[in-house]
Every structure is written in structure tokens, then in C-alpha cells.
Amino acid sequence: MTGGSMADGGAGWRGWAERYCGKAAIMAVFLLCALPGTILTALLTPPGQSPDEVTHYARALGLLHGVILGVRHEDTDPLTGRPEWQTGLKVDTGDFRLAFGAVTQVDQRPVETFDDWNTIERSPQDPDLLYVGLPNTATYFPAAYVPGALGAAMAKYIFNETPLHVFITARIFMAVAFMAVGLGTLYVAAYGEALLVSVLLLPMTVFLAGTLNQDGLLIAMTCLAASCLTRAARGWRIAGLVVFALVLGAKPPYILLLGVFALPLFAPGFWRRLTDMALALLPVLGWIGLISLLVVVPYGKAQYFPGPLYAGNHAVLMDHANAGAQLHILMERPRRFLALPYYSLMRDSYSNFITMIGVLGPLQIVMPHGYYAIWGVCLALTLLGLLVTRRPYDVPPGMALVNFIAVGAAVGVTLWGLYIIFYLDWTNVGLPDIDGIQGRYLLIFLPFALFAIPHLQSFPGLRHVRFALPPLLLALPSLGMAVFDIGYIPLKLVLNYYLH
């Protein structure tokens, strides 16, 4: 009698958990938080007040004219009069100029005054094509710009709207695409929904998703690729490979993470998994080769004098990044390959942390320190929650250890590679540290923790542990913060841009 009651109680708990704390519940809470967060961001954030939004919008506008690949041509540097290479594309002048917006600096912050609003609202259409230099976004595969381009096309060609409404409609389409991919991620995932929804609902992710910066959608696509891989079936793995290959078209430095799709290394079917991964890698390598030959140019900068590590004439003004000179500096003392990334990582650890959680606007709207601490704890709890996340299959201790090492190595080497690339292609020549890394670049790593952190039963001596918590309970701290952010993020945008 007692045993039967206990069994009935256990079954009742499991039934209640599956009904109210499972996949459907977490999808509903995601939609509740993402819908107002992204849409209000799209409506409240003035044009151009998102990282690199002007150049991202230009890339989307280029799709309206069928421009898949940027065009490289030789021009004259207006400051030096010397010839230089530029890369970019042609866009409608009126739509592009609107992306700069109009703000007034008040107390060292951009404010949208009534006059500024009238200026952008009355901005006229101008169908003349304008060549726009895009040294960074011209190299990105344009898959993530398709929703914004569709929104702009609908507002522009079907409803004949003003440039402002074309811009806002493009943002809303990006937000809707993000929510659709996010819901698909949570629906497909066989496990790990708590971590995935936490990444999707981080303030940084939600803010970017409501703008024309492609990173919000790319983070969601990475989560979708990881969720496909949790299914542990070849069809779903191939679907994940396709999605992540589209991400890599815009983010080639993360290419080593593609190796996660070949795990586990010592299980049957490895060579088939490796073949699938290699086939997905081919178009990525093809795109990298194409842009290297036809699109990539040195990044132009304001004139500067080279830094202390430069061995040449320090009195010579430079106005571009110079990968050759930077590589020579690294090769001169090979220890710099490790020392410079390490020093820069330590120096920027806090700024990378807060820009991963969420610094809004063009990285100007900073939250209180306690806010970042709470979100950091929420993420840490979600990662620890993977230890008690139910898995659809058993992972032996040896395989779990190999997966942990493999994923950790892929993430570590990729992070090191990011720093080296930013030193070669972005940092001013001769500086003793690395510039340009931002916390949002780290968000792509988080979904792959699903394959590095095993359930407790994968640890030696804990093979019989069956304890697991439903996704909603594991995500409760993050979801609580996400519910708070429904009002907090719009409030921060209003306080920064409209109250003066």
C-alpha cells in the first residue's frame, strides 16, 4: 500500500512536471518575453543606435537589388590622396541615409529630440543608387539579412512607405524571424531547453534581435543548430550542419565548432559523421575563398602612429589595419601568439562579461553592476543545471570526458583564433594588446555547452543516478530575469533616448 502510494506520488509528480514545466511551458514563456522585448526594441531604438546597424542595414538593402557579394574597386583616399581599395555595394540613397538617424548629444548621451524625430520622419525617398563602402559586412554571407530585406521590400514596394517606416518594418521582420527560430529551437531540442532559452533571452540577444544587426538572429540560428544535434539522429544532425554552415558564412572564425557535429569520436558511425561535417564545410570554405579573392580589403581607420611593438619608423602615419605588419610582430617573438591574447582577455574580462549579458545602444547604455551579477548567476545555474538535465540516451564516462575535452578545446582554440584575427585585421599596427573583441561574440559558444557538460550519471560511480529536473524549473532564474526585462529594457531605452 505504501509502495503503491509512493509510486503513484512519483508518477503524479512526473505527470505534473511534464504538463506544466516541460517544453510547451518554456516555449510559451519564451514567446511572452521575446515578443514585447524585441518589438519594443525595434520601435523605441532610434535608427543607427545599435552596433554597426548602418552597415548591416546597407547589406540588407543590397539584397533588394540582388547583391549577394560586395564589389571591390580602387578609389582615392580623401585624406592622403593615395589610391586605396574599397569594398561595398549600391543601395537606395534615401533608405540608406535614414539609417544614420538624427540624435542630439545631451549629457554625453544621444537623445532623440522632437526636432530629430521630425527630421527622420520627413526623410524623403531617393531612388538614386549610392555606392556604400562596407569593409566588414560586405564579407558576410547574407542569409541573416533576408528577413530585414523582406520587410524593407514589403514596406517600400507594396505599401510605398517613407524611409523611416521601411527601416522599422525591416527591424520588425528581423524580430519576428528571431522569435520563429527561437521557438523552433525549443521545439526541436531533445534536452537543454533551459540553457538555450537563457541564451535566447539574454538582454544582449533580445536587443540585437530587435535591430538590424544580424548577430541576434545568428545567435538564435546557432541555438537551433545545437538543438538539432541533441536529437542524435543523422537527419537532424544534417539539418543542424546546414544551419550552422549559414552562421559560419557570416562568422568564419568559428569554423572549428563545426567539429562538434562529429562527436562522439569513438562511437560507431564516426566516419559517416565526419563525412557529413566535411560536406557542410565545403561551401563555407568556398565562400571564404570567394570573399578573400573578390571582397576583402584592409580595414580603413583614422590616421594613427604605429604602436611600440612596430619595428619600423614610428613617425609614419598609418590609416589602415595591416595584417602583414602585425604578423611580422607576432613572428618576431612567437610567445606573443599566446601572450597578447591572454593579456587582452584578462584586461577586458569584465567589459566582455557585461557586453555579453547586455550593454544596449551602440554599447553605451550600461546597466547597474548588480544586474550583471544576477544575470551571471542565472547563466551559471543554467550551466550547472545540465548536470541534472534528462538526456534521451546514456553517455558512458569515457565518452563524456572525451566530449568535454573536445568541445572545450574547440571553444578555447576558436577564442584564441578570434583574438589573433582581430590583432591582424583590426588592431592598430604595433599595439601591445588586442582591440575589437566584444562580449556578444562569446554567445555563440554557449549552446555548445550542451555537448560538454554531461548528466551526473556519466560520472564514475554515479551510473545509477536518474534524478532530473524539467526544463522550466531549471530555467526559472533566467526566466525570472527575462520577465523583469520586459519592462526594464524598454525603460532603459526611453530614459536614455527620450527623457532629457
pLDDT for 20 beyond 70: no
Task: Please state the φ and ψ torsions of residue 317, each to the nearest 5 degrees.
Answer: -75, 140
pLDDT of residue 2: 44
Task: Please state the φ and ψ torsions of residue 304, each to the nearest 5 degrees.
Answer: -150, 160
pLDDT, one tens digit per residue, over 60-101 is 999 999 999 888 877 776 666 677 778 899 999 999 999 999
pLDDT, one tens digit per residue, over 419-446 is 999 999 999 999 999 999 999 999 999 9
pLDDT, one tens digit per residue, over 118-165 is 999 999 999 999 999 888 899 999 999 999 999 999 999 999 889 999
pLDDT, one tens digit per residue, over 265-299 is 888 999 999 999 999 999 999 999 999 998 888 88
* Alpha carbon distance 386, 481 (integer Å): 19
Which cell is 413 given? 582554440
* Alpha carbon distance 272, 202 (integer Å): 36
pLDDT of residue 78: 64
Sketch the domain layout of the chain as residue ranges: 2-497
Q: How confident is the model at residue 460 (pLDDT cuts 50, 70, 90)?
A: confident
Query: For 28-37, 254-263, 288-297, 370-379, which range has the lowest pLDDT when averaged over its residues?
Result: 288-297
pLDDT for 7 beyond 70: no
Query: For 18-22, 148-152, 161-165, 410-414, which range has the lowest pLDDT when averaged over its residues?
Result: 18-22
- Exposed, middle or buried: residue 165 (CB in 10 Å: 0-12, 13-18, 19+)? middle
DSSP assigned state of 365: B
pLDDT for 11 beyond 60: no
* Alpha carbon distance 88, 62 (integer Å): 9
pLDDT of residue 270: 93
Q: Considering the chain, what is the average pLDDT of its residues?
A: 91
pLDDT of residue 5: 46
Q: How confident is the model at residue 465 (pLDDT cuts 50, 70, 90)?
A: confident
pLDDT of residue 3: 46
* Alpha carbon distance 212, 54 (integer Å): 8
pLDDT of residue 373: 97
pTM of the model: 0.94
Contact assessment for residue 321 and residue 304, using Cβ atoms and an 8 Å cutoff: no
pLDDT for 171 beyond 80: yes
Query: For 28-42, 294-308, 484-498, which range has the lowest pLDDT when averaged over its residues?
Result: 294-308
- Exposed, middle or buried: residue 268 (CB in 10 Å: 0-12, 13-18, 19+)? exposed
Q: How confident is the model at residue 6 (pLDDT cuts 50, 70, 90)?
A: very low
